[in-house]
Amino acid sequence: MATALRRLAKCSVSARLLSFAGHSRGRRGHFARPCTVVAQRNFSSASTMTVDLDSSTGIAVMKLHSPPVNSLSLDFLTEIAISLEKLEMNKGCRGVVVTSALPKIFSAGLDILEMYGKSPERCGEFWRAVQEMWLKFYSSRLVTVAAINGSSPAGGCLLSMTCDYRIMADNPRYSIGLNETQLGIVAPFWFKDTMVNTVGHRTAEIALQLGLLYSPQDALKIGMVDELVPEEKLVSTATEAMARWFAIPDHARQITKSAMRKPTIDKLLSARETDISNFVSFITKDSIQKSLKLYLENLRKKKA
């Protein structure tokens, strides 16, 4: 895995993705032609995502494929962030659709096993990767559309909320929301801020405290998602939605996006290390570890 990530990192360019927000400090690059990037866990394992860029439209489709539930582990988060970074560097790419290659699940959120029984050092490394993924997506110069084709709790919901537009499959068996409190854990301030920016303060206050998971219809009502469509039309609708965003001159849209999101991004950037140490000291507490253990046991019992 580490080798695969190093290979990916080597291909990617190290510029920050905040270029439109005035933070650029790297060089720019681009892929020579339409590309398929396949991030692999290791040389022999199955791929954990595919990224297909259609050079005629400038739209990339990033399909997450980390069975069984696309839970966001340290490695997977890193792969996702690096893949986005590579698209950012490609001048032929203007937008990305994020979706899942797994049936019924967009993403089960952060990998609970990364937070349970791990050393403080490893927890810190994990949390930095969560921050990095959020920073990259929330500040992306690209038009980002989440095509949510399954359940999307907690970190999965967060990933979708970093996007500019969310389209969800209209299936009452799916749910979406920040359910952290149901696990006995707490959504950190930047999860909370992203939620407030998406659905407004009062709705976020209720949703976060109760750890609510919404059906697609209810998520549409509160503005957590922007559109519902039959599942088979999800990616085509996302591609069509992209056209509305592409009709706006990139620089005007990007500067506006930055104006809307920069205060939230800067808040995390100025407190990253404190946020990591808060996470580590919170998550490694005995009482929190017990809550996570119980939650994992219940997940397994539900299955049995």
Ligand X SMILES: CCCCC/C=C\C/C=C\CCC/C=C/C(=O)SCCNC(=O)CCNC(=O)[C@H](O)C(C)(C)COP(=O)(O)OP(=O)(O)OC[C@H]1O[C@@H](n2cnc3c(N)ncnc32)[C@H](O)[C@@H]1OP(=O)(O)O
Active site amino acids = 110, 155, 179-180
Number of other CB atoms surrounding residue 181 within 10 Å: 15
DSSP annotation of 22 = T
Kindly state the smallest distance separating residue 215's Cβ from ligand X, in Å: 13
Can residue 255 be called a binding residue for ligand X (CB under 6 A)?
Answer: no
Among the listed ranges 15-23, 176-184, 198-206, 226-234, the one in contact with ligand X (CB under 6 A) is 176-184
Can residue 113 be called a binding residue for ligand X (CB under 6 A)?
Answer: yes
Q: What is the DSSP string of 238-271?
A: HHHHHHHHHTS-HHHHHHHHHHHHHHHHHHHHTT
Can residue 68 be called a binding residue for ligand X (CB under 6 A)?
Answer: yes
Can residue 140 be called a binding residue for ligand X (CB under 6 A)?
Answer: no
Cβ-Cβ contacts under 8 Å for 273 (sequence gap 6 or more): none
Among the listed ranges 26-34, 51-59, 192-200, 278-286, the one in contact with ligand X (CB under 6 A) is 278-286
> What per-residue string of b and e applies to 144-168 under the rule 16 or more CB within 10 Å gives b?
bbbbbbbbbbbbbbbbbbbbbbbbb
Can residue 188 be called a binding residue for ligand X (CB under 6 A)?
Answer: yes
Can residue 71 be called a binding residue for ligand X (CB under 6 A)?
Answer: yes
Q: Give me the residue label for tokens 């399954």.
A: 150
Can residue 78 be called a binding residue for ligand X (CB under 6 A)?
Answer: no
The one among 57, 278, 289, 291 contacting ligand X by CB under 6 A: 278
Helices (H), 104-177: 120-138, 155-161
The one among 21, 81, 84, 110 contacting ligand X by CB under 6 A: 110
The one among 92, 95, 109, 216 contacting ligand X by CB under 6 A: 109
**Do residues 150 and 100 touch, judged by C-beta distance below 8 A?**
yes
Closest CA to 203 of 181, 218, 183: 218
Task: By CB under 6 A, name the binding residues for ligand X.
Answer: 68-69, 71, 104-105, 108-113, 151, 153-155, 179-180, 183, 185-186, 188, 278-279, 282-283, 299-300, 303
